Structure 1
């Protein structure tokens, strides 16, 4: 209903301005020299994940440097809630939208609505399947997936039996990390099972318990994020087995687990840097400058050694 109201309002405003295709003045981003009182609308997929908390912190800190206000909303991993949240941000008249999609397909409709209203959109960590996005700021997830598979092969040799814990279905990070992983694993490893655990620690624990029962001879686990990896470790420890687990993100809990000798490795991102780069891109867009469509934050493999 909110979305319909927003689009109807935009349509009526167009009619009252002589059928112009220009967006209403309240929806136009401030550009050029008029960059005072800029408001960023930041929609995060979930703040129940330390990675995205760090990403949010990076956005807010960088925005403060530029005297920008940030309105933060938490989708709680609910794509319908995220769409409504972003509609609300647009109705508040934000100058630019920074969106970390819960679902890359589901977010497309509101991205297109923002396009209609002339509000620039930048996505963080995950892309939108449709609509115009000024820039995607993310790690190279495909490369990170390859790094994980190469490390498992280095650790255990060819044809090692691996379980893959996949992220949320529909998220671009899930597709890309899985793609990179399988570019190597399909040639060098034996992926005996894979199942989604929605980037969630508790689901990672439960899914891992079930997959280990069906695959008792598993030799390694690759999880699409650290939260699932940490859940998998709990399941493995309860079974009394010793199975290497490789995660993805490099969040604080994961790094502590590596130091404690539990998590074997993580493909570490830099979430605060992703947030900072997204704000810098937003500032450039509002100044009318061209920005790269894909802005990459470096990755590194972290182990105890």
Structure 2
């Protein structure tokens, strides 16, 4: 077991004991004795990203509209910290937990005690690997990756060398977007992916990684970044080549991404609807807390934003 896995396992073990104690009294999801006001815990991977700030806003708006209480935590991309936050939700006796995992694999032992105690768990944007949570609310990242490949191919005339900036390793969002892009770009034999490297969904890392990759691959004419933050970092690294000699396609459709598209430095972004993701996730969690049945997977559509549609 990795050092991270050992730390998480220790936190989870303590949380399991706590949750067992809670479940012996008044179960968090008990319909008969449940307080009229639903209390939800939402564990977000990081709020140092405009996408997740928008997701949080959608979640808070939905909770307010429903008269529910929503507790939100920021794990700052630390899976161990997220495990502690989930444990605290147990102590606060929430009626359901929403998790946007830092790491999809590491999230499995974090939510296992909740599932054992019959507390509803909703995964948001990123799946919990190998675990049957109550519901998963997300965009179709594989389809989005294919759309990104088609957009980039169109931008560069279906030929040339491209690089890929990958997100946080271990997240389903990164894996699925990468999978979709690989499938989509395979349809264009004139395009060659010459490098892939993680930049962790971060703008500064996107700048640094792009700078290094462009030095080693000077003939690159296109970049696919698995989120807009990395795409914006790539644009900074490219300088006046962005949108001219090198076309950039991002993913998320954030406000900053849309501004870059309008400015001509980013060719396109695959737009998710983060506020809608947060809204639907909270609505699903409230239904589960009340004992209602919901769909296991709720897909929020993605669309291509280019200079025309971004208007």
Question: TM over 0.5: same fold?
Answer: yes
Distance 1:267 1:70 in 2: 29
Give the alignment of 1:58-73 within 5 angstroms: 58-73=58-73
- Partner-residue secondary structure (3-state), 1:84: helix
- 1:174 — aligned with what? 174
- Partner-residue secondary structure (3-state), 2:127: coil
**Which deviates more, 181-190 or 78-87?**
181-190
- 2:39 — aligned with what? 39
Q: Does 1:299 align with 2:302?
A: yes
- 1:276 — aligned with what? 279
Give the alignment of 1:183-222 within 5 angstroms: 183-188=183-188, 189-222=191-224
Give the alignment of 1:85-234 within 5 angstroms: 85-188=85-188, 189-234=191-236
- 1:24 — aligned with what? 24
Tell me: CA distance 1:150–1:118, structure 2 relative to 1, closer, same or farther (3 Å): same
| Displacement of 1:271 | 0.3
Query: When the two structures are superposed, what TM-score results if normalisation uses the length of structure 2?
Result: 0.90
- 1:8 — aligned with what? 17
Native 8 Å contact 2:45 2:102 kept in 1: yes
Query: When the two structures are superposed, what TM-score results if normalisation uses the length of structure 1?
Result: 0.92
Native 8 Å contact 1:32 1:286 kept in 2: no
- Partner-residue secondary structure (3-state), 1:127: coil
Distance 1:126 1:200 in 2: 17
Native 8 Å contact 1:32 1:288 kept in 2: no
- Partner-residue secondary structure (3-state), 1:181: helix
**Which deviates more, 29-38 or 264-273?**
29-38
Q: Does 1:237 align with 2:239?
A: yes
Native 8 Å contact 2:19 2:90 kept in 1: no
Distance 1:213 1:163 in 2: 12
- Partner-residue secondary structure (3-state), 2:72: strand
Distance 1:271 1:207 in 2: 26
| Displacement of 1:2 | 4.7
Instruction: Structure 2: give runs of 5+ residues left out of the alignment.
Output: 1-9
- 1:20 — aligned with what? none
Tell me: CA distance 1:286–1:82, structure 2 relative to 1, closer, same or farther (3 Å): same
Distance 1:269 1:32 in 2: 38
Distance 1:9 1:163 in 2: 47
- 2:54 — aligned with what? 54
Residues 186-241 of structure 1 deviation map (CA, whole Å, 9 limit, x = unaligned): 34131111000000000000000000011000010000000000000000117787
- 1:17 — aligned with what? none
- 1:265 — aligned with what? 268
Distance 1:252 1:246 in 2: 15
- 1:285 — aligned with what? 288
Distance 2:24 2:74 in 1: 27
